[in-house]
Amino acid sequence: MSDEITALQHFDDASLDTAFAALAEQVRRETASLSDPEAFRLHWLGRKQGRLKLISEAWLKSAPPEAKRALGIRFNQLKEQIEAALEAPAAGSSKTTVQGIDITLPGTLRTPGIPHPLLKTMHEIVSVFHHLGYSTNLGPQVESDFYNFEALNFPENHPARDTQDTLVIASQQSRPSRDRLLMRTHTSPVQIRTMIAQAPPIRIVIPGKVHRNDAADATHSPIFHQIEGLCVDTNITFSDLKGTLDHAMKALFGSDVKTRFFPSFFPFTEPSADVQISCIFCGGKGCRKCKHSGWIELLGCGMVDPAVFAAVTAERRKVNPSDDAYNPEKITGFAFGMGVERIAMMLHGVSDIGHFYSGDMRFLEQFA
């Protein structure tokens, strides 16, 4: 590698092209058999005695002002060629780098994924009812007013149908009221869809995400999960409902848990009831978590209102005018619904519902 730089006598384009072409050819010859990239780099790009520094001193400084721009362009092109050669050594290079394995480094730990605590709780609840012969049905989260309210016997002036309680889809005013879209406020629309599509007997559980226009706090979230159940057949009584839920609560919380039912009101069931279980924290003796009552309210239930069967029958008769599968004089049924987050908070001692949605791995890893 010769470091001699011959002074330029002429600075016209042809002379510059000839001079830099010779340098470029020299770079190509050297990189074709490049065995020591570091020596090559220092030879051409060294800060004190590199060839580019010598070229700059010999040519750029002595060039007339009108030739400096053309010379600078060719100088930068040569520098880029050298840098490219260093980044991608020639294919004919005789030096091969082999990447070994450093056995002193810690290994890569692959941690298996786990179900989210809400999904885990949901699966546990659904499993209880699967063992009772129930199947699982699902439905859309964006529902029409008919399935979410009208078929479930909600009157037009019911507070739940107000936008302060329900998240509605924008620009629905031109549609008939029953066709207006909203985010479902419960999984009950799947009950209606199932009965319209299927004649009795029916035994289903419906897990899913629901949406309400609620402000987030320690016990409320605008998005949460529900599991509802529906049983329709001949000779279904309130005693069947009580026995089913009593068994489910014992399967979830232990055989010592007791249940009791209080009269309540829901538009889609009659009679309706709230279900309480004996406090799992104090055994029914009374503590701060059960407000010293010994009981915790957990879910709602009731016998399916004949008005719901009437709405289902009206829809089924659009296909078969003589359909009488849901005649309330022949069949009865019960329904129930519970919040998954509330049960998960009780089972795992979580005080703030927001932890389930925070994405904080420190919280979620506790359930691994």
Residue numbers belonging to the annotated binding site: 270
Measure Cα distances from 165 to 83, 159, 183, 213, 279 in Å.
Answer: 65, 7, 11, 5, 30
Least Cα distance to 335 among 272, 263, 249 occurs for 272
Residue 155 one-letter amino acid: P
**CA 233 to CA 316: how far, in whole Å?**
17
**CA 314 to CA 146: how far, in whole Å?**
12
Q: Are 253 and 237 in contact (CB under 8 A)?
A: no
Residue 129 has which token pair?
């009812």
**CA 72 to CA 77: how far, in whole Å?**
9
- Which three-class secondary structure state does DSSP give residue 24? helix
List, as residue ranges, the binding site for Mg(2+): 270
Q: Are 219 and 353 in contact (CB under 8 A)?
A: yes
Residue 349 one-letter amino acid: G
Q: Are 55 and 63 in contact (CB under 8 A)?
A: no
Percent of the chain that is helix, strand, coil (3-state, to 5): 40, 20, 40
Question: Which residues partner with 278 through β-bridges?
Answer: 295
DSSP result, 299-353: EEEEEEPHHHHHHHHHHHTTT-TT--TT-TTT-EEEEEEEEHHHHHHHHHT---G
CA angle 208, 268, 146 (to 5 degrees): 70
Tokens 């897990």 found at: 207
Cis status, amide bond into 159, omega within 30 of 0: no
**CA 117 to CA 273: how far, in whole Å?**
28
